[in-house]
Amino acid sequence: MFTLVPQLVIGAADLSAAFLFLFGLKRMSSPATAPSGIRVAGIGMIAAVLASFLYVFTVDAAARPHLLINIALAVAALAIGGGAAWVAGRRVAMTAMPQMVAIYNGMGGGAAGGIAAVELFGGRTHGVTELAVTLLGGLIGAVSLSGSAIAWAKLDGVIKQPWRVKGQQYLNAAVMFATLVVAGVILATASGALGLSTATWIWIFFACALVFGVLMTLPIGGADMPVVISIYNAFTGLAVGLEGFVLQNPALMIAGMVVGAAGLLLTLLMAKAMNRSVANVLFTNFGTVAKARPGAIQGEEKPVDAADAAIKMRYASSVIIVPGYGLAAARAQQKLYEFVKLLIAAKVSVKFAIHPVAGRMPGQMDVLLAEAGVPYDMIFQLDDINDDFATTDVALIIGANDVVNPAARTDKASPIFGMPILNADKAGQVYVIKRGQGKGYSGIVNALFYGPNCEMVYGDAQAVLVKMIEAVRGLGAAAA
């Protein structure tokens, strides 16, 4: 009876947490309900964590002398980790959000790998099947940890260029093969077939898995980082689900399966949006600096004053705005919406066009605009708005590059050929706000910038938008 009640409470808490996870995820499917969905899922996580302390009533008598120490360590870990995450989450800038997501996702994979390590070193797995599941979860979790750390370093500018060597794919395959061989050895030593210490093989196993995560991520170019983050999100979910099976914890199993499935679907959708397979992202060299072929691009970039561009938009009947990472880097989303409200007051039809891989993490542009208070009914995804560009007076592009590059439609030699893009070049007039004449994060020259209907507004996005706001307000003052 002493242990029955806690077990019933744990079961009820796990069931409730699973329901809250699923309900929260459902609400996250819409921008309007996403904030409440996050809170609901967070409540579910709190319930699952608190219920885990009830396991102290079910431990063996021999382990009870260590209970107070273990509980104190758990509480300290929760306080330190939760406090650090709270402070970091409150202070992080929108431009740093991708790398924060990457490193926190890696922490989830590391936690799953840690669970696997505890189970393996403690000899708590029973039977070949359970041991194999533990090893698989540990492998995926370790890969997610080290791979996400490299993704963070790339996004944060610590690693500025992809690292590639001749025969990179063969090296990666060899490391993965060695990891699987060591896993097989651990299975064999568990049954007494080999004499070497099982603990030694476990150390080698995790070392190989961590090295593989690093080697797999280092060659991937910056333009693929949104897909990479999504892939490691799926890895973390899968690892957590597998370790939940080992621990017989329904909350971990359900949460892991939900996160893994969501991450996998998002990865496939983003790969489709780039017209590439996931294998192509992981095992090719997209993202290196691409050199323009002689004669491939005709014309020259044509600069224009910010005020002139603003006045043109003020007297247009329709404007479509394409936000990119440059908008986030300049922290200009508030000024952009201020400018948009001036256009709307002048009876201009304004819409926002979002490409699935715009920015450096999935959904970054949607979050950026929501933060500025842009109404959801003004924000349109690629498939819903692409046909409207041909009948639009002005397309305003802020810090975007590959997602509006017409070379994806016309240049078979381009690394992005075949990728669906926003048809901004088909608008009557195109203005591009850009800090300079660089090629953008992927290093690919954008043919749009040299088009006959495109003009460049050089400068920091926030400074440019301030000038645009002043120009439009000046028209109103002059009319008064």
Residues β-bridged to residue 350: 319
Torsion of CA 426, 429, 434, 437, to 10 degrees: 80
Q: For residues 402 and 274, is the Cβ–Cβ distance under 8 A?
A: no
Active site residue 411: no
Residues β-bridged to residue 433: 398, 457
User: 222-249: string of b/e by CB count within 10 Å (b at 16+)?
Assistant: bbbbbbbbbbbbbbbbbbbbbbbbbbeb
Which of 402, 411, 425, 460 is catalytic? The answer is 402
Sign of the torsion formed by the C-alpha atoms of 461, 464, 470 and 475? negative
- What are the tokens at 262? 């969501």
- What are the tokens at 438? 């660089």
Q: How far lies 144's CA from each of 23, 150, 157, 177, in Å?
A: 26, 10, 20, 17
Q: For residues 309 and 416, is the Cβ–Cβ distance under 8 A?
A: no
Q: CA–CA separation, 304 vs 288, rounded Å? A: 30
Q: CA–CA separation, 270 vs 356, rounded Å? A: 6
Q: CA–CA separation, 371 vs 336, rounded Å? A: 12
Q: CA–CA separation, 59 vs 264, rounded Å? A: 37
The set of catalytic residues is: 402
